[in-house]
Structure 1
Amino acid sequence: MKLLEQVQMVCLRRRYSPKTVQAYQRWVKEYLQFHRNKAGRWRHPRELGAAELEAFLNHLARQRRVAGSTQNQAVNAIVFLYKHVLADELAEDHLGRFAAERAKRPKVMPTVLSVDEVKRLLDAFDSANSQYGLMARLQYGGGLRRSEVVNMRVMDVDLDRQMLMVRHGKGAKDRASVLPATLIEPLKKQIAQVRTQWERDKAKGAGDAVLPDAVANKQPSAAKRLGWRYLFAARSLTEREDGNGLCRKHANASAYDRAISEAAKRAGLEKKVTSHTLRHSFATHLLESGYDIRTIQELLGHEDLSTTMIYTHVAATGPVGVRSPLDNLSV
Structure 2
Amino acid sequence: MSESPHPPKLLDQVRAALRRKHYALRTEEAYVGWIRRFILFHGTRHPRELGATEVSAFLTHLAVESEVAASTQNQALSALLFLYREVLLQPLSEDLRITYAKRPTYLPTVLSREEARAVLATLSGKQHLMASLLYGSGLRLLECLRLRVKDLDFDQRQLIVRQGKGAKDRATLLPDQLHAALRTQITHVQSIHQRDVREGFGEVELPFALDRKLPNAARELGWQYLFPASQRSTDPRSGTIRRHHLDESVLQKAVRRAAQQLQMTKRVTCHTFRHSFATHLLEAGYDIRTVQELLGHADVQTTMIYTHVLQRGPGAVRSPLDT
Q: Distance in 2 between matches of 1:96 and 1:305?
A: 27
Match of 2:232 among 223, 232, 237: 237
Alignment deviations for residues 85-113 of structure 1 (CA, whole Å, 9 cap, x no partner): 222xx3x5x54632222110111111110
Are residue 44 (structure 1) and residue 39 (structure 2) matched?
Answer: no
State the AA in 1 paired with 2:29.
Q
Q: TM-score, normalised by structure 1?
A: 0.90
The aligned residue for residue 28 of structure 1 is 35
C-alpha distance in 2 between matches for 1:259 and 1:55: 42
Aligned pair partner of 2:221 in 200, 215, 226: 226
Checking the alignment, whether the CA contact within 8 Å between 2:281 and 2:291 is kept in structure 1 is yes
1:54–1:98 Cα contact (<8 Å) kept: yes
Secondary structure at the aligned position of 1:74 is classed as helix
The one-character-per-residue Cα deviations of 1:282-311 (angstroms, maximum 9, x if unpaired) are: 001001110111101100001111111111
Deviations 1:258-292 (A, max 9, x none): 11111111222221111110100000100111011
RMSD: 1.6
Give the conservation status (yes or no) of the 8 Å contact 2:22–2:208.
Answer: no
2:159 to 161, 164, 187: 164
Report the counterpart of residue 192 of structure 1 in structure 2. Answer: 187
**Structure-2 separation of matches of 1:223 and 1:7:** 28
Rounded Cα–Cα distance in structure 2 between residues aligned with 1:208 and 1:157: 20
TM-fit CA distance, 1:83: 2.3
1:286 aligns with 2:288: no
Q: Does 1:3 align with 2:10?
A: yes
Secondary structure (helix, strand or coil) at the match of 2:100 reads coil
1:261 is matched with: 256
Change (3 A) 1:15 1:238: closer
Structure 2 portions without partners, runs of 5+: 1-7
**Residues 58-77 of structure 1 mapped to structure 2, 5 A cutoff:** 58-77=60-79
Give the equivalent residue in structure 2 for 1:105: 103
Letter in 2 for 1:61: A
Give the letter for the 1:34 counterpart.
F
Note if contact 1:50-1:96 (Cα within 8 Å) is conserved in structure 2: no
CA contact (8 A) 1:15 1:172 kept: no
**In the aligned structure 2, how far is the partner of 1:141 from the partner of 1:80?**
37
How far, CA to CA, are the matches of 2:279 and 2:249 in structure 1?
25
Is the partner of 1:11 in helix, strand or coil? helix
Aligned equivalents of 1:173 and 1:316: distance in 2? 32
CA distance in 1, matches of 2:30, 2:65: 20
| 2:307 corresponds to 1:315 | no
> In percent, how many aligned pairs have the same letter?
49
CA distance in 1, matches of 2:298, 2:48: 34
1:151 to 146, 153, 163: 146
Instruction: Report the Cα distance in structure 2 between the residues aligned to 1:58 and 1:13, rounded to whole angstroms.
Output: 30
Q: Say if 1:16 and 1:172, in contact at 8 Å, map to a contact too.
A: no
| Residue in structure 1 matched with residue 4 of structure 2 by the alignment | none
Matched with 1:117 is: 115
- Provide the rounded CA distance (Å) in 2 between the counterparts of 1:316 and 1:226: 45
C-alpha displacement of 1:24: 1.4
1:177 deviation in Å? Answer: 0.3
- TM-score, with structure 2 as normaliser: 0.92
**Long gaps (5+) in structure 1:** 37-41
